[in-house]
Amino acid sequence: MTLEMSTMLLLVVGTLAASTIAAVTGFGGAAVLLPFLVAVFGVRDAIPALTIAQLVGNGSRGWFNRAEVNYQVVGWFALGSLPAGLLGGVLFASAPLPILTRLLGGFLLLVVVFRHVQKLKMPQMRLRWFAPLGILTSFLSAVVGTAGPIVAPFFLAFGLVKGAYIGTEALSAVVMHASKLVAYSSADVLSMRGLAIGLLLGPILILGSFVGKKIVNRVPDQVFVMLIEIVLLVSGALLLVHG
C-alpha cells in the first residue's frame, strides 16, 4: 500500500477527530469516517478496513468493561449476527459499486433521521429480541459499513447503562465484525491494503475514545452533534446523488 504523506496525515487526523467527537456525543464516529475512507480508497477497501478498525476498537472497549458485560445479550445477538454477517459480506462482494455507494449515502441520511426519531419512547427490550436485532444490524453493517447509531437505543432499552452498556454493545459488535471479516476474506474483498488501513485506524480510534473521555464534560456536546449531523447530511447526499 502506497500513500502520499499528506494523505496519510489527513487519514490519521480525520480518524482521531471522528473518534474523539463520537466519544463526546456517543455516536457517529464510524459514520463520519466512512465517506472520507470511500473518497480515498473506494468502497471495496473502505468498508473492510473500517470493519478491522471497529473490531480493534470494540474489542478494547469490551475488554475494559468485561466485568460488566451481559453475556446472555451477547449470545442472543450473536445467534442472529453470525449468519447475517456472513450473508451480508457475500452480497457486499458481489454488488455493483454504484449501488453500494448509493446505499451508503442513503444510510448516512437515515442516521440523522433516526437520531431524532429515537428520542420517542421505546418499549422494554426483551432478551430474545436481540437475535433478530443481530440479523438486521449485521446484514446492514456488512453492506454499508456501520450500524452503530441504529443499534445503540435497543441496548439502552434493555436497561444496560454505563460500563454494562459499553461492554455488552462492544462485545456484540466484535462478534458481528468477525463474521463480516470471514465473509470478506472468503470473497476476496479483504485486500492487504484494506488490512493495513484497518490496523492503522484501530489504535487511533482507541486514542480518540480516550481523548473524548477527557473532554466530554468540558465542551458542549450540542456543538459536536450539530457538526456530525451536517457532515452526515452533506456526505450522504453527495454519495446518494453521484454514486
> pLDDT digits over 194-230, tens only?
888 888 888 887 888 777 767 656 666 576 667 777 7
Q: CB-based contacts of 124: which residues, under 8 Å, 6+ apart?
A: 157, 158, 159
pLDDT for position 224 = 64
pLDDT above 80 (res 127)? yes
Among 230, 240, 241, smallest CA distance to 103 is for 240
More confident: 138 or 224? 138
What count of other Cβ atoms lies within 10 Å of the Cβ of residue 22?
A: 25
Average pLDDT over residues 109-138: 81
Instruction: State the pTM of this model.
Output: 0.78
pLDDT above 70 (res 234)? yes
- Name the residue with cell 441496548: 155
pLDDT > 70: percent of the chain:
85
Average pLDDT over residues 13-22: 77
- 40-44, 80-84, 133-137, 215-219: which range is least confident on average? 215-219
pLDDT for position 89 = 87
**Chain-wide mean pLDDT for the chain?**
80
Average pLDDT over residues 178-195: 84
- 10-19, 27-36, 66-75, 136-145: which range is least confident on average? 27-36
Specify whether the backbone of 145 is left (phi greater than 0), alpha (psi in -120 to 50) or beta. Answer: left
pLDDT tens readout for residues 24-75: 665 666 777 787 788 788 888 888 888 888 888 788 878 888 888 999 999 9
pLDDT > 90: percent of the chain:
14
- 6-10, 18-22, 109-113, 192-196: which range is least confident on average? 18-22
